[in-house]
Chain A
Amino acid sequence: DGGITQSPKYLFRKEGQNVTLSCEQNLNHDAMYWYRQDPGQGLRLIYYSQIVNDFQKGDIAEGYSVSREKKESFPLTVTSAQKNPTAFYLCASSILGREQYFGPGTRLTVL
C-alpha cells in the first residue's frame, strides 16, 4: 500500500530536550511538508522541501530543523529553542503543485 507514515504517534519531551519526529512516504512524491496544528486552530507551515537536499522555511520555522537526505524521508527536529512545542504535528507529501497527502500525525507534549 502506498502512503505516508509518521512516528511516533505520541511523544513526550522534557524541558531542554531535542526530539525528532519521523515522516516517511512511498508515494514517490518530490515535495514534502511539515505543519503544526494547535487546538482549535488551522495548519501552520513549518518547513517544506521540493526536492532532495533542499528545503525552505515556512511561516513558523524558528526552533525547528529538518533534513531531506532521501526522497522518502523528511524528519523534523524540535529543538530546545522552540519555547512552546506542545502541538499536533502533521507531515504531508505531494507531486509538485498538486494535492497534498497527509500522515496520521504526531502529538507532542512537553512535560
Chain B
Amino acid sequence: GEDVEQSLFLSVREGDSSVINCTYTDSSSTYLYWYKQEPGAGLQLLTYIFSNMDMKQDQRLTVLLNKKDKHLSLRIADTQTGDSAIYFCAVPNTGGFKTIFGAGTRLFVKA
C-alpha cells in the first residue's frame, strides 16, 4: 500500500542548516507537502512543491524532489530555536482524496 517514511529525530545547532528527508511509494501526486507542528497545536502548512519541479525555494526553506527515487527533502537554512517542532511530509494518494502523512521528524535546535 501507500507509504511515506521519515527519520524520527534530527538535532542541529542554531545557525546550522537542517535537512529532513522523506521517501514515498505513490508517485502519482500533483503536489507534495511539508507541514510543521508545534507542541499542542495543529499542523501548519509550511510549503509544497509541484511534482513537475525539482526544487522550490521560499526564504529559508528549500524543497528538493527526486521523482525517480521518490525522495523529498526539506532544507531549513540558518536554523533557529523557533524552528524546533515536528515536520511532516505529506503525499496525496492516487485520486487525491486522501493524504498519506509520514510519522514526522522531530527537530531539536540547540542554542
Binding site for B on A (CB under 8 A): 6, 31, 41-43, 45, 48, 50, 58, 90, 92, 96-105, 107
Contacts and interface: CB of A to CB of B under 8 A. Distances in A.
Interface residues on B, range: 20 to 34
Interface in B73-103: 88, 90, 92, 95-99, 101-103
B7 interface: no
A90 B43 contact: yes
Nearest to B103: A42
Given A42-B102, A96-B96, 4 more contacts: A50-B97, A97-B92, A97-B97, A102-B42
A31 B43 contact: no
11 contacts: A41-B103, A41-B104, A42-B104, A43-B101, A48-B98, A90-B43, A97-B30, A102-B43, A104-B42, A105-B40, A105-B42
A85 B4 CA distance: 25
Interface string B12-43: 00000000000000000011010100001111
Contacts of A97: 30, 92, 95-97
Question: Which of A41, A48, A58, A98 counts the most chain B CB atoms within 10 A?
Answer: A98
